[in-house]
């Protein structure tokens, strides 16, 4: 028996694949299109591991997905594949609709056909775990209670709208067809191997290169931060013990403003890799806010803690220092993924602000 991981060369997906194979022998088949954020270097240590099979392909390629499900006798699908950066969705929403909405539909259709061919224990034990985001819930006001699983959806960006649509499709396939699906909605992830357009790696790398640290608006936007290792553990729990048809919110209980995160990173770098003169915080530059920028996200993870006995292992302080050390020690990884396309993206998104 095998699990299929879509988007398994991306940040969260690759961390999950590595974590899965570090803790057990069940094989993994990874399907990834290898767009800008998919990086085979993330899975390099598995190159000669017979438990891992990598397939380059698109979740919209239904014949390919059907062959993979049948050939590898897949007993569970973990669906990470997604366009995931809000700024990119503002500049080019069509790719987000295609991957996140149409791609999820295509995958669900092939998974449903595969599941319908199963019988007995294999059919009963099959699972489809859809990995989603807290951004589908919209924006919280200061002091407002954190997002629970019953919160009404209110997406405010093309990215979050496309993920909300995929969540609704997954739910519909459970209620209409009985497909044994699970959905997780996580808060902002951070940790090793994150593509450097996201806040934390972008600030670390810009600081080390003595570049400005661009902070949107007044820096007061609040996010709940979740270490990717804790997220992987939560997903294992949801896959193994979650109830089909249910949604589980996964958060790190670490609300911080963006400015607080950047200042903390600067303090860590001052200690771990000091500048020749001055402090890293001197590089902070406030830039024009992005359109529709949600003010606050916060996850109420009571349900997953109560039902599945999951709690995060990392505090934000220890997890952030671990992350900074990883980027300091893995500069070759960074250079390998900084393609011309990525540099053009940074120029397009930040220099004009």
Is 159 catalytic? The answer is yes
pLDDT at 337: 74
Q: What is the reported pTM?
A: 0.94
> In the predicted model, is pLDDT for residue 336 greater than 60?
yes
How large is the average pLDDT for residues 234-251?
98
Task: Tell me the CATH class for 2-190+227-251+295-312.
Answer: alpha beta
Q: Mean pLDDT, the chain, as a whole number?
A: 94
pLDDT at 352: 63
pLDDT at 87: 83
| Active-site option among 32, 83, 134, 224 | 134
pLDDT at 160: 96
How large is the average pLDDT for residues 326-331?
95
- Which sequence spans correspond to the domains of the chain? 2-190+227-251+295-312
224 strand-pairing partners: 255
Is 149 catalytic? The answer is no
How large is the average pLDDT for residues 58-64?
98
pLDDT at 285: 97
Q: Is the pLDDT higher at 40 or at 229?
A: 229
| Active-site option among 159, 280, 297, 350 | 159
How large is the average pLDDT for residues 54-58?
96
How large is the average pLDDT for residues 179-190?
98
pLDDT digits (tens, 9 = 90+) for 116-146: 999 999 999 999 999 999 999 999 999 999 9
Q: Look at the block and give the residue holding tokens 């997953």.
A: 304
Distance of CA 118 to the CA centre of its chain: 30
How large is the average pLDDT for residues 310-339?
92
| Three-class SS of the chain | CEEEEECCCCHHHHHHHHHHHHHCCCCEEEEECCCCCCCHHHHHHHCCCCCEEEEECCCCCHHHHHHHHHHCCEEEEEECCCCCCHHHHHHCHHHHHHHHHHHHHHHHHHHHHHHHCCCHHHHHHCEEEEEEEHHHHCCCCCCCCCECCCCCCCCCCHHHHHHHHHHHHHHHHHHHHCCCEEEEEECEEECCCCCCCCHHHHHHHHHHCCCCEEEECCCCCEEEEEEHHHHHHHHHHHHHHCCCCCEEEECCCCEEEHHHHHHHHHHHHHHHCCCCCCCHHHHEEEECCCCCCCCECCECCHHHHHHHCCCCCCCHHHHHHHHHHHHHHCHHHHHHHCCHHHHHHHHHHHHCC
Name the pLDDT band for 353 (thresholds 50, 70, 90).
low
Give the whole-angstrom CA distance, residue 41 versus residue 295. 34
> In the predicted model, is pLDDT for residue 339 greater than 70?
no
Name the pLDDT band for 240 (thresholds 50, 70, 90).
very high
| Active-site option among 87, 135, 230, 294 | 135
6 strand-pairing partners: 31, 79
How large is the average pLDDT for residues 69-76?
97
pLDDT at 84: 84
pLDDT at 172: 98
Is 270 catalytic? The answer is no
Name the pLDDT band for 345 (thresholds 50, 70, 90).
low
> In the predicted model, is pLDDT for residue 346 greater than 80?
no
């Amino acid at each position: 028996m095998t699990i299929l991981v879509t988007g398994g060369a991306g940040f969260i997906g690759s961390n999950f694949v590595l974590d899965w194979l570090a803790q057990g022998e069940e094989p993994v088949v990874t399907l990834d299109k290898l767009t800008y954020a998919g990086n085979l270097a993330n899975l390099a240590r598995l190159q000669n591991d017979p438990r891992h099979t990598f397939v380059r392909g698109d979740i919209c390629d239904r014949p390919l997905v059907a062959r993979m499900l049948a050939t590898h006798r897949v007993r569970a699908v973990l669906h990470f594949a997604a366009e995931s950066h809000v700024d990119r969705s503002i500049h080019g929403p069509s790719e987000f609709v295609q991957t996140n909405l149409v791609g999820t539909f295509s995958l669900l259709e092939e998974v449903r056909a595969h599941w319908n061919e199963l019988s007995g224990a294999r059919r009963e034990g099959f699972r489809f775990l859809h990995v989603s985001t807290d951004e589908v819930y919209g924006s919280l006001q200061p002091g407002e209670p954190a997002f629970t699983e019953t919160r009404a959806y209110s997406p405010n960006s093309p990215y979050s709208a496309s993920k909300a649509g995929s969540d609704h499709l997954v739910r519909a396939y459970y209620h209409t067809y009985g497909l044994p699906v699970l959905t997780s909605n996580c808060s902002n992830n951070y940790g090793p191997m994150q593509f450097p357009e996201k806040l934390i790696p972008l600030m670390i790398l810009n600081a080390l290169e003595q570049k400005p640290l661009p902070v949107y608006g007044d820096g007061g936007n609040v996010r709940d931060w979740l270490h990717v290792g804790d997220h992987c553990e939560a997903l294992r729990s949801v896959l193994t013990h979650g109830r089909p048809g249910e949604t589980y919110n996964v958060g790190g209980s670490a609300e911080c403003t963006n400015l607080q995160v950047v200042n903390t990173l600067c303090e860590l770098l001052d200690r771990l890799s000091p500048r020749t003169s001055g402090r890293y915080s001197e590089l902070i530059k406030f830039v024009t806010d992005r359109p529709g920028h949600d003010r606050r996200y916060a996850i109420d993870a009571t349900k997953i803690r109560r039902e599945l006995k999951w709690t995060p292992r990392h505090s934000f302080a220890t997890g952030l220092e671990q992350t900074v050390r990883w980027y300091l020690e893995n500069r070759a990884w960074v250079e390998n993924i900084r393609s011309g396309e990525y540099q053009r993206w940074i120029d397009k998104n930040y220099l004009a602000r």
